[in-house]
Amino acid sequence: MNEITKLTPADWASDQEVRWCPGCGDYAILKAVQRTMPELGVSRENTVFVSGIGCSSRFPYYMETYGFHTIHGRAPAVATGVKLANPELDVWLVTGDGDGLSIGGNHMLHLIRRNLDCQVLLFNNEIYGLTKGQYSPTSRVGTRSPSTPFGSVDRPTNPCAFAIGCGGRFVARAIDTNLKTLPEVLKRAHANKGTSFVEIYQNCIVYNDGVFEDFTEKKAAPATQLWLEDGQPMLFAGGTKGLRLNRDHLHLEVVDVVDGDWQAADVLVHEESNKAVAQMLIDMPFPAFPIALGVIYCDPAPTFEAAVTAQNAEVSAGKTPDLNALIRKGQSWTVDGKPHAV
């Protein structure tokens, strides 16, 4: 047996003291990732975690892998450079709703549209936690914070809608404390070749505590969470309710399911590659509809780094590198009677 098969979750945990607020949802996500890594069949030496700025961005310190704690919003740019420099590396990008969708929104857009092979874990707590509770791009209208003391009037962005709008080919959602389903979503994200975008609802116990409790609380979960599985009917509330596609008006409807006969209720079967339905699932208003969780959309496409690598090989085939010729190539002008390359 090689080393990879013998690794345990403890092998993926660094010797650094984990420093988040007691009760922060980041602890649960960290544990879920550390538990998942041994099951992926990858090595620590070939794994890189990249982050930007924010509470979530302390993540690389706590993983016994290579990592970069970069600058605000620029984690996608650094992750792209890492993957292009060595396509064999397994790259994970950890960010938050502020870091990834505000100052880093432009970088995130290009990472997703290029379909770089990496896993993006976006921790969404609908607030800026590290900088003491200002409203973020995902904060709801009416959110009271140090920067919006009378309530935010901004319309929030939807991370999954952003990802699919950027041309994302893998979009999923999970919950920080659900240690049964979160690892399964992480495994699916890792198995996808391309940018895997995973929004994780994460509770900020200090500045936005309980913002998701309407659907994360144990008693509320069955009736408010729709866990999607490819090829399976979209059922929730213990199988007593489901989603039906109104084909006349092309929108989703909640229907009752009697005696488990979901077919009679015309409940929709989840098809991961159906982008139109995926958009509907992302846009469902809560609480009239449940929160869609799991893999919402998956339709793989060629990766960016594969195209770059193939192009470089084609262009350089049969040629001998000549740095001097490269430097002198192109337009030139004359200064003091001597030619200078542009």
Convert the pLDDT of each residue in 281-322 to its tens digit: 999 999 999 999 999 999 999 999 999 999 999 998 998 888
Average pLDDT over residues 3-13: 83
Q: Is the pLDDT of residue 337 over 90?
A: no
Report helix, strand or coil for 132. coil
Position 168 in a domain: yes
Q: Residue 330's pLDDT is what? A: 76
Residue 271 belongs to some domain of the structure: no
Report pLDDT for 5: 60
Q: What is the DSSP letter of 145?
A: B
At residue 36, the pLDDT reads 98
Sheet bearing 251-256, strands edge to edge: 235-236, 241-246, 251-256
Task: Pull the structure tokens for residue 258.
Answer: 């009697």
Residue 179 included in any domain:
yes
Q: What mean pLDDT, rounded, does the chain reach?
A: 95
Query: CA–CA separation, 151 vs 142, rounded Å?
Result: 4
**Residue 194 placed within a domain:** yes
Structurally, the chain folds into a number of domains equal to 1
pLDDT at 1: 42
What's the CATH code of the domain at 124? 3.40.50.970
> Pick the residue with more confidence: 330 or 157?
157
| Structural domain includes residue 339 | no
Contact 300, 193 (CB under 8 A): yes
Euclidean distance between CA atoms 287 and 223, whole angstroms: 10
Find out whether 167 and 160 touch, Cβ atoms under 8 Å.
no
C-alpha closest to that of 55 among 159, 128, 138: 128
pLDDT tens column, 230-250: 999 999 999 999 999 999 999
The 10s digit of each residue's pLDDT in 57-73 is 999 999 999 999 999 99
The answer on pLDDT for 84 being more than 70 is yes
> Has residue 283 been placed in a domain?
no
Give dist(CA 155, CA 12) in Å, integer: 39
Is residue 336 over pLDDT 90? no
Range(s) of the domain holding residue 125: 3-211
Q: At 342, is the pLDDT very low, low, confident or very high (cuts 50, 70, 90)?
A: low
In a domain, residue 85? The reply is yes
Note the pLDDT tens digit of each residue in 169-182.
Answer: 999 999 999 999 99
pTM (2 decimals)? 0.93
Only one residue has tokens 């929160």, namely 291
